[in-house]
Structure 1
Amino acid sequence: MTTSPADGVRTARPSRREALTSRRFVLHYLQMLAAMLVGMALLMPVSMLVGAGAGVELQTLLMATSMSVGMAALMVWHRSPVSSIVEMCLAMYLSFAVLLPAHWLGVLSGEAVIGLGHVVMLPMMAAVMLRRREQYLDDH
């Protein structure tokens, strides 16, 4: 149960299924993906300069940073709590970080880490959003 700050009425917390099938929730998810792409596009020249010839660790760090900047900007615009922004940014970095040990062991190439990191990021973002689903079902 949650309490609405406006009227103090207790309401049932939306289920994960309700969130995932909500147009508003899906729209927030798609907006975040678009913001990440914008962040990557705007910061790509800097990333290419800094990361030229660097290992996959630095490349993924720069990529996650670029995406996080775009996404965090959108979340600030939506007036999301700082804790939500931090969690979502951590999801960006962790999506790559969980794959690096496989790279270090020679199981994954650098290109595979980058590609799979983007794939892992999608459910990681959804998981963070589902954790705070009331926020993403709100009208901001």
Structure 2
Amino acid sequence: MTTTTTAARTGRNWGRFALHYVEMIIAMFAGMLLIGMLRSAAGLGLSHAEQPELWYLAMALDMSIGMAAWMRVRGHRWAPTLEMCAIMFAPAVPLFPLLWAGAIDGGVLMLVAHVGMFPLMLAAMLRRLDEYAGCRH
């Protein structure tokens, strides 16, 4: 059975799946950049060195806003949209106690959280494969 036949039978398009993944990453970084710049311009910037957990939470919120906006434009339902938003927070929040105990610093928090985000996003997308690779959009 060829790949084309399998894709036609299941209604899944792996190119569409990959495109969704890339689009969400771009939207996530666009939200982080644009909203972060607006916050700084308004004098509401946070210091990564002095308040790494608050800085991360604000950045995760910015990424979530960008990603959620794009997912809604693409026609995604609220459940997968909010799931992706939660993933922006999920890798870092469990690390906060280690940060507060002095076992890690803000740089390690950022590195682990950012590295963890991408496979978690991919796992969520695979969990809802028809949402991202289906012919709905």
Specify the TM-score bucket, using the shorter chain as the normaliser.
0.7 to 0.9
Match of 2:128 among 117, 132, 137: 132
Deviations 1:113-134 (A, max 9, x none): 0122111101111111111111
Judge which range, 45-54 or 106-115, deviates more: 45-54
The residue that corresponds to 1:30 in the other structure is 22
Kindly indicate whether residue 38 of structure 2 is the aligned counterpart of residue 39 of structure 1: no
Whether the aligned pair in 2 keeps the contact of 1:47 and 1:63 (CA below 8 Å) is no
Q: Give the Cα–Cα distance (whole angstroms) in 2 for the partners of residues 46 and 12 of structure 1.
A: 44
For structure 2, the residue ranges without an aligned partner over 5 or more in a row are: 1-8
Judge which range, 106-115 or 52-61, deviates more: 52-61
Q: Give the Cα–Cα distance (whole angstroms) in 2 for the partners of residues 12 and 77 of structure 1.
A: 25
The residue that corresponds to 2:51 in the other structure is 55
Q: Give the Cα–Cα distance (whole angstroms) in 1 for the partners of residues 68 and 83 of structure 2.
A: 10
Q: Give the Cα–Cα distance (whole angstroms) in 2 for the partners of residues 138 and 81 of structure 1.
A: 14
Quote the offset at 1:12 in angstroms.
6.3
The residue that corresponds to 1:123 in the other structure is 119
Q: Give the Cα–Cα distance (whole angstroms) in 2 for the partners of residues 36 and 137 of structure 1.
A: 20
Quick one: which amino acid aligns to residue 91 of structure 1? I
Instruction: Summarize the alignment of residues 1-140 of structure 1 with structure 2, pairs less than 5 Å apart.
Output: 22-48=14-40, 49-53=43-47, 55-139=51-135, 140=137
Using structure 1 for the length normalisation, give the TM-score: 0.79
Whether the aligned pair in 2 keeps the contact of 1:47 and 1:62 (CA below 8 Å) is no
Using structure 2 for the length normalisation, give the TM-score: 0.81
Q: Give the Cα–Cα distance (whole angstroms) in 1 for the partners of residues 64 and 24 of structure 2.
A: 10
Deviations 1:56-113 (A, max 9, x none): 1210110000100110011001111101111110111112112212212212101210
Partner SS for 2:75: coil
Q: Give the Cα–Cα distance (whole angstroms) in 2 for the partners of residues 97 and 23 of structure 1.
A: 32
Aligned residues: 124
Partner SS for 1:50: coil
Whether the aligned pair in 1 keeps the contact of 2:53 and 2:96 (CA below 8 Å) is yes
Structure 1 vs Structure 2: percent identity of aligned residues? Answer: 36
